[in-house]
Structures are given as structure tokens and as C-alpha cells.
Amino acid sequence: MADTALREPGAAVRFRGGGFLPGTSRLAAVAAFVGLILVWQAAISFGLVSPVFLPSPVEIASALRDLTMSGELWRHLSISLVRIGSGWALGTAAGLCVGTAMALFSLARSVGLPMVSALYPIPKIALLPLLILWLGIGEVSKTATIALGVFFPTVIAVYSGIDNVPRNLIRMAQSFDVPFRDIVWKIALPGALPSIMSGFRISVSTALLLVVAAEMIGAESGIGAFVLQAGNLMQTDQLMAGVTVLSILGLIVGAALSWAERALLAWR
Amino acid sequence: MRLHVDIRRHAYDDLAVLDGVAFTVEPGEILCLIGPSGCGKSTLLGIVGGLVRPTDGRVSTEGALPEGSLNPFTFVFQDFALLPWRSVAQNVAFPLEHHRLTASERDALVAEALRRTGLSDFAAALPKQLSGGMRQRVGIARALVVRPALLLLDEPLSALDAQTRELLTEDFLDLWLRERTTAIYVTHNLDEALRLADRVVVLSRRPGRIKEIVTVGVPQRARRGPEAATTLAALRERLWSLIRDEAAIADREMVHG
Amino acid sequence: MPNTGTTRRGALGLIAAASVTGARAEVEAIKVGVLKLASSGPVFLAQDLGLFASQGLDVQLRFFEAAQPVAVATVSGDVDVGVTGLTAGFYNLAGKGALKIVAAQAREEPGYKLVAVVASRKAAEAGLRRIEDLPGHAAAVTQVGSSFHYSLGLLAQTHGFDIARVRILPMQSVPNVVSALKGSQVDAAIIPATAATPLIASGDATLIAWADETPWQVAAMFTSPRMIATRRDALQRFVRAYQAGTAAFSAAFLALGPDGTPQPGPGAEAGLATIAKYTGQSVASVRDSIPYMDPQARLLVGDIYRQVRWYQGQKLVDAGVDPASVLDLGFVDRHLDLPK
């Protein structure tokens, strides 16, 4: 149907160009978060939800406070952070090398692509008994579990990132007889950085996710082991406190990555 | 330095792109390559610059390189091919970095190239902060910083709007008149060719052959003057008549692949 | 051989029927949460022998993969009754007033070798031979606060050392524990006999002890306080049929022979077939995992108290949990080991 207003002489043109430009509001995000917690607390306070099933935010907060005051939280967290950090660094280093090789060399690509497709979807938890056999139950197998989970998304991010670097930039470098090594360091890798950074977002979340799986293997402490044990013991307030710590960790790392992206990718 | 180009045949798989293209580029001249789109102009430039391996043919030089030349052949690209994460000065410095130069030698070369292209005030800017015209100036500065024997310009102004094109043509001509760097300049724009070229090589549609090599005969300095107008208008007519039918047929061809 | 099967089943039914008392009422549906394990045998037998039906109950079995979800489903009302192992997690949940233990299921009893403490090859060669050698070593369990953990704690108590001197490593699952043993990644582990036997046979592990020294209540039948309050009669009938099931189970499998090992009794073959059918396991693996249980499903009440206190001592059960509050002893007569 045509706009009838336009048919009348002298009618103003109606604005039609709105929408499809969503912005973000920090206030709305915080308000939604606070709202959710209030509704949650109210549902329990008014007896709509049994605290047996869902501990109240107040209970979780007090569990969290006790954990912090007793030093337990820091003990678990510091151990896990070492595992997450070393696993992530290891998986990222290996992923960078393999992904770069796959992007640059035919042989690495021919072998690597089907390998990654075949191995990436294997749930790492299913491999735990094997990892225990191969690597034992010490820090090595825990680090390896996280590294393995980090490795594949990194490979894919690096590989597709370099693959998508404009071919013309490489031709440009070749036209100046720039050596292969310099082309990799000065064009391929910086050009792939946006893709690598978004790969980091995925791999860091994966590392946080996998710390629970990694600490399934004979861990006496660590935030993942803490969450697992709280679950096994049906200590739901402790469980939720541990989960809250993990999600706060996720938020912090996410913010750090955003900051790094702004700093490193200012040229975009 | 003189350049001999002799491409007997060039093909991608079964698709013949060039078929018997031979010409010589004289020292200090601007040779324009024109032809309908898809006639293999850019491929030919790639072959000359060593970025494309010809199926059958050879490009050779005769005579010495200019004093202090770090790269004999350098390109200016249609899409500028700037590294977006580097500043203007860093982009211009890029082709120097793998040469044995001291930092001060390098800085001096970069500063000089920026000065010649009018970029001195933009040394620290990122490509994204520049207009298209300024970006191509960076591309030209980068191509010149290594003192090439031969500049290969692949439709350097095609991505720019008409006014910027006009400005850059003038600036490029000024630059060339001072230094007389030998150049092969690929374009599909007849006016650009007639402003810059000493000679114009007209290519046929695919597979590209040389239809004719037209000598402009009017010095570049004199081309804006009224006495040259008639000659140039006649030349333009002539070039257009050579290209017109080819372009019309090429336009109707299905895109290969 | 369908005929023999029917006859055997008849015999089993007779024994069971003898212990069934009480009147018929209208048919009432009861959802029961169980694991696919031989220890759930009494429920399977009662179902197949029509013991629930004869109490006027339509019992619907809901199968679970682990004990914890059965407890949670019982609290949420997804099932009316649960029958599984007792863990620290169970007591934490029950301690919130959400669950009541009503009758017994499996328990440890001397002569019934269901759980083994084993040493890895390396640790055994280095001299880990007896329970008393455990302090200073690392022992794998499935989970902290599991029945295996308690069992190890009980052994430590009996043999006079503090369990804190053993490094307890939770591995989350039996296959993970087996892997750790095979690679001698841990010194010792406490695992089901079905997992231990092949390891001992292959030399990957050495038996240190069976966990059957001290009788203790491993598993139980439980329900929600709401069920007790609103459907007491149906629950009472369920318990009667369940007791008939444990009686049949006991008669079929639990009599000890002159050599001190369990001998098949009347209805054993048919019973094994029934349990194999419900659990989806082979008859042989069912036979190897038949645990002891009281024929009348009576609880070792004192042990429930001991468990709660031990777990509380290990800080695995909230200090506020009162053992008496997780029990309802009114459905089964003459419970055992009653605290004074």
C-alpha cells in the first residue's frame, strides 16, 4: 500500500529510515542484572522457590564472603589461575605455530585441515581416562586438558585469519623483494590479528570452561575442583559461589581482551 | 635502463590471456597500456614486474640501474595495498626495512619520499585517517623510496573520484617531470593516458594482442596548452576508434569461470 | 527353557508372597527412581513378581545414571521414592528437611566382597600391602563424600589411623580411577569389585583389603516428607512389597555356603535373569555385583548416625544436620543397631 499521506498536497514526507541500529547501554545491562538478582531473592524470600533447589543471592553472597575471609577462595583461585594461565599459553603457542603453518604451507594445510576437523569435535572430557594414562594425574594432565581445548580454536582463528589477509598486501611485499620471513611477521600475522584476537575470546572462555574438567582429575584444590565437590556434596550455595567466581573471572578476562583489542587494533 | 617485453603467450589453464605482446620501454618515458577490461593489462604488468610467471615469454633489461636503486621495479596498486596497522611513514619505510641501511639513512629516505609526495605533515597518520587521494600518494611515495628503475602503475587512480584523479594526475606529472623515472602506466582512461604517456600501447580484447602503439608526440608540459588541443583531440578520437569495438564486444562476453 | 524359568519364578513368588501381608486397596501409581545396578534388584524382583501389584500399586520405574539425581528428583517430586546409595551430598540435601530414609538397601557385611582397596603395581612393589600402610600415600576415590570415601574412612578408623594422613584424590568416575591405577598415577584406590577383579588379574593392581570388615549401610530407600504426610498408606504398602523384594533377593542370592562365599538359593537363576533384563547388564556381571542387604530391609540406624558424624568431621556435611531428622523409622519394624 502506498503512503496515502503523500497523496495529499503539502503533506510532510514521513520518516521511514529508523531502526536496525541497536546501540548498547551499560545502565540497562546493570539494571537488568540487579533486577534479576532482586526477583531471584524475592522468589525465595516469599517462598515461591524452595531454597533447597536454588540458594538465594544472599546465601551465595555470604558463602562467597566466608570463602574470601577464610582465604579458601584465594587458595583455590590461585592454583586454578596457574593451570588456566599455563594451559592457555601452551595451547595458544602451539595453535599459533600450527595455524600459521597451515595458512602458509600446502603440506601443513593438506594434513592439518582434516586433522582439525576430525579432532576438534572430540569432547575433551571423554579423553580424561586416556589423558590420565598418558600424562598422569599431576599438573601436566590438567594443563594439557586446558591446552588441548585452547589449541583448536586458536588454530582455526590463526589459519583463517592469515588466509583472509588481502592477497594484494603479500604481492606488494613480494614486489619489493621482502623476504618470506618478514612477510610472515610483518604482514600475515599482524593482518590476522583481528581474527586471532576474536579467537582469544573463544579460547579464554574455553580455558575457563575446561578448568572444571581439568580439575576432575584428582585435584584436591582449585576453583574447578571446588565447584565439582560442592556439586557432589549438594552444597548449592558453595556451588553457586564457585560458579559466580568463574563468571566474574570471565567478565574480567573479557574486559581485559576488549581493552587489548582497542589498543592493538586501533588501526581498524 | 631499457626494457624489452616479449610475451609470446600467456594463459590461465586453457584460457589464453595474452597472445604475442612485444614492445620496448625506452629510458625516461611513460608508456601507457590501454585496452578493454579483461584484456590482460594488469596481468601484463604483473609479468613485467615478476609477480606473474608468463606461460611463454621473457622480460629483459638493458643498461645499468640508476645510482642507489634498491629495487629495480616497483608497483603502485589500484587499491593502494597499504598496511593499515602502520602509519604513513612506517608504510613508506616498509620496503627499506630488509635492506642494510642505518636508521638515519632510512629515516632520511622516508622523509625525502614524503616530501616529494607532499606527505610530510601526515607522517604519523594511519591510512584509515586519510582520503583515497592521500592514500595513493603514500603508495607512490613507497614505490619511489627505493629509487626504482621502473615504476609499474596498475590503474593507480581508478579507485578515486574524478576530482581527486585530476589532482593526482597533475601531481604525478610534476613529480615525473622532475625525475623522469621510467614508467609503465596501466589505465582504462583515455584522458589520463593522453595527459601522461609518451606512447600508448593499445591492446585488443582477450586474448590481448597489440593493436597499435601510438606516439603522442606533444611534450607533457605542453599538453594543457591550446595549441596541443587539436592534436590531442584527434589522438583521442583515434584511440577511441581502436578500442570502441573491442570494448563493446568485451562488454557482452560472459565472465569466465 | 521357558518352563524352568516359570517354575523358578513361581518358587520365588511363593517365598515372597509368604512375607507379604496387608490388604488390597485401589491401584495407586508410585514413581520409583533407581539406578541400573544389581543393588536395585529387590525393586526389579518385586516388580516382576507382581509384589507391588499385589499391594495395589502401579510402580513406574524411572532410571537414573547417578545417585545424586535420584535424591534431587525425589525432593522435586519427579519421583515419589528413591533407592540408591547414601552420600555426603544426600545428607546435605536430606538435612534441609527434604528427604527421609525409610528402609535399607545394600550394606557392607563380612563375606560379601563388593568393594576393594587396591594398590597400584608401583606402590605394591614399593611395599604398600596392608591397610595400615596407607598413611602417607595417595588414594583415588570417585568423589569426595561418596560411599567409597566413607568406606575408606571406616577402614582407617578400624585400623587405627587418621584418614587425614591419606591423600584423597577425587577422580570423578570409576574409569578415571582405573586409568590412574593402570598408570600407577596413584598409590591406592577404592573401587567396586567388578572394576578391581580384572586389574588384579592383569597385575595392574594388588588387593590390599576388601571393604567388608565392618557392616555399614551403603544404600537406602528414601522419600520426601510430603509423600509421608500425604500418601502414607500407599508408601506403607510400597515398603511391604519392597521388603518382600529384599526377602526374595536375600533368599536367592545371599545365603553363605560352607566356604564362606554366597551360594545361589531358590530362584537365583530367574532372579539374575530379571535383574539382567532391567539393568541391561550380562547375567555374569550382575552375579558379580550382588551386594548384601537385610532380608527385611531394616536399617543399620547407628551407622547412619556414624556416617553423618564422620562426614561432619570431614567438613563434608553441614554441621547443622541432625541424623535423627533424616530418618523415618516408622515403616519398617525392628530396625537394627538402634542408638541408645
Q: Which residues contact B94 (CB under 8 A, 6 or more apart)?
A: A173, A176, A178, A186, B83, B86, B142
Q: Look over chain A and give the mean of its residue pLDDT values, rounded to a whole number.
A: 90
pLDDT tens-digit series, residues C75-120: 999 999 999 999 999 999 999 889 999 999 999 999 898 899 999 9
- The closest alpha carbon to A102, from A144, A166, A145, A151, belongs to A151
Where are chain C's structural domains?
Answer: 2-109+216-326, 115-210
Instruction: With an 8 Å CB cutoff and a minimum of 3 pairs, decide whether chains C and B touch.
Output: no
* For range B49-55, the mean pLDDT: 92
Helix (H, G, I), strand (E, B) or coil at C143: coil
The residues in C 70-99 lying below 8 A from A, measured between CB atoms, are 71-72, 75-76, 87-90, 92-93, 96, 98
pLDDT tens-digit series, residues A71-81: 999 999 999 99
Q: Does A27 reach chain C within 8 Å, measured CB to CB?
A: no
Give the cell for residue B20: 604475442
State residue C80's pLDDT score: 96
Given 3.40.309.10, 3.40.920.10, 3.30.70.580, 3.40.190.10, which CATH number is that of C115-210?
3.40.190.10
State residue B64's pLDDT score: 83
pLDDT at B38 over 80: no
In angstroms, rounded to a whole number, what is the distance separating the alpha carbons of residues A232 and C170?
11
Of A5-9, A174-178, B186-190, B209-213, which range is least confident?
A5-9
State residue B254's pLDDT score: 66
Residues of A within 8 A of C71 (CB-CB) are 234
Give the cell for residue C192: 567396586
- C44 touches C274 (CB < 8 A): yes
Highest mean pLDDT among A117-126, B210-219, C56-65: C56-65
Helix (H, G, I), strand (E, B) or coil at C155: helix
Nearest CB to C180 within list A52, A53, A132: A132
* For range B226-249, the mean pLDDT: 88
Of A60-74, A194-208, B161-175, B236-250, which range is least confident?
B236-250
- The closest alpha carbon to C295, from C326, C339, C332, belongs to C332
> DSSP 3-state helix, strand, coil percentages of chain A (rounded to 5)?
75, 0, 25
State residue A126's pLDDT score: 79
In angstroms, rounded to a whole number, what is the distance separating the alpha carbons of residues C105 and C103?
7
Asked if B73's CB is within 8 angstroms of A186's CB, the reply is no
User: How many residues does this entry show for chain A?
Assistant: 268
pLDDT at C45 over 60: yes
State residue B256's pLDDT score: 54
State residue C19's pLDDT score: 46
- The closest alpha carbon to C54, from C220, C248, C223, belongs to C248
State residue A20's pLDDT score: 85
| Number of Cβ pairs < 8 A linking chain A and chain B | 56
Nearest CB to A129 within list C93, C175, C316: C175
pLDDT at C17 over 70: no
Domains along chain B with CATH numbers? 2-252 (3.40.50.300)
Residues of chain A with pLDDT > 90: what percent? 63
Residues of A within 8 A of C186 (CB-CB) are 137, 218
pLDDT confidence band for C332 (50 / 70 / 90): very high
Q: Does B49 reach chain A within 8 Å, measured CB to CB?
A: yes
Q: How many CB atoms lie within 10 A of CB A85?
A: 13
pLDDT confidence band for C66 (50 / 70 / 90): confident
Q: Strands C106-108 and C292-293: what pairing?
A: antiparallel
Q: Does A114 reach chain C within 8 Å, measured CB to CB?
A: no
Give the cell for residue A119: 579432532
Domains along chain A with CATH numbers? 60-263 (1.10.3720.10)
pLDDT at C253 over 90: yes
- C79 touches C224 (CB < 8 A): no
In angstroms, rounded to a whole number, what is the distance separating the alpha carbons of residues A125 and A130?
10
Q: What is the 3-state secondary structure (H, E, C) of B216-253?
A: CCCCHHHCCCHHHHHHHHHHHHHHHHHHHHHHHHHHHC
pLDDT confidence band for A6 (50 / 70 / 90): low
Q: Helices in B19-161 by DSSP H: which ranges?
A: 41-48, 88-93, 103-116, 132-144
Task: Tell me which chain A residue has its CA closest to the CA of residue B70.
Answer: A176
Helix (H, G, I), strand (E, B) or coil at C107: strand
Q: Does A212 reach chain C within 8 Å, measured CB to CB?
A: no
State residue A5's pLDDT score: 57
State residue C18's pLDDT score: 45
Longest dimension (CA), chain A: 84
State residue C21's pLDDT score: 45
- The closest alpha carbon to B238, from B196, B194, B206, belongs to B194
* For range A45-57, the mean pLDDT: 85
pLDDT at B13 over 90: no
Asked if B71's CB is within 8 angstroms of A177's CB, the reply is yes
Residues of chain C with pLDDT > 90: what percent? 76
C19 to chain A, closest Cα gap in Å: 37
User: How many residues does this entry show for chain C?
Assistant: 340
User: How many residues does this entry show for chain B?
Assistant: 257
Helix or strand (DSSP H, E) at C11:
helix C2-19
Q: CA dist C313 to A14, A204, C108, C136, C151, Å?
A: 75, 38, 22, 20, 15
pLDDT confidence band for A4 (50 / 70 / 90): low
pLDDT at A182 over 90: yes
State residue B255's pLDDT score: 62
Instruction: Identify which has the larger pLDDT, A158 or C113.
Output: A158
Asked if residue C42 has a cis previous peptide bond (ω within 30° of 0), the answer is no
Q: How many CB atoms lie within 10 A of CB A226?
A: 28
- Fold of the domain spanning C2-109+216-326: D-Maltodextrin-Binding Protein; domain 2 (3.40.190)
In angstroms, rounded to a whole number, what is the distance separating the alpha carbons of residues A145 and A157?
19
In angstroms, rounded to a whole number, what is the distance separating the alpha carbons of residues A65 and A244?
12
State residue C68's pLDDT score: 87
Residues of chain B with pLDDT > 70: what percent? 98
Residues of B within 8 A of A183 (CB-CB) are none
pLDDT at B192 over 60: yes
pLDDT confidence band for A2 (50 / 70 / 90): low
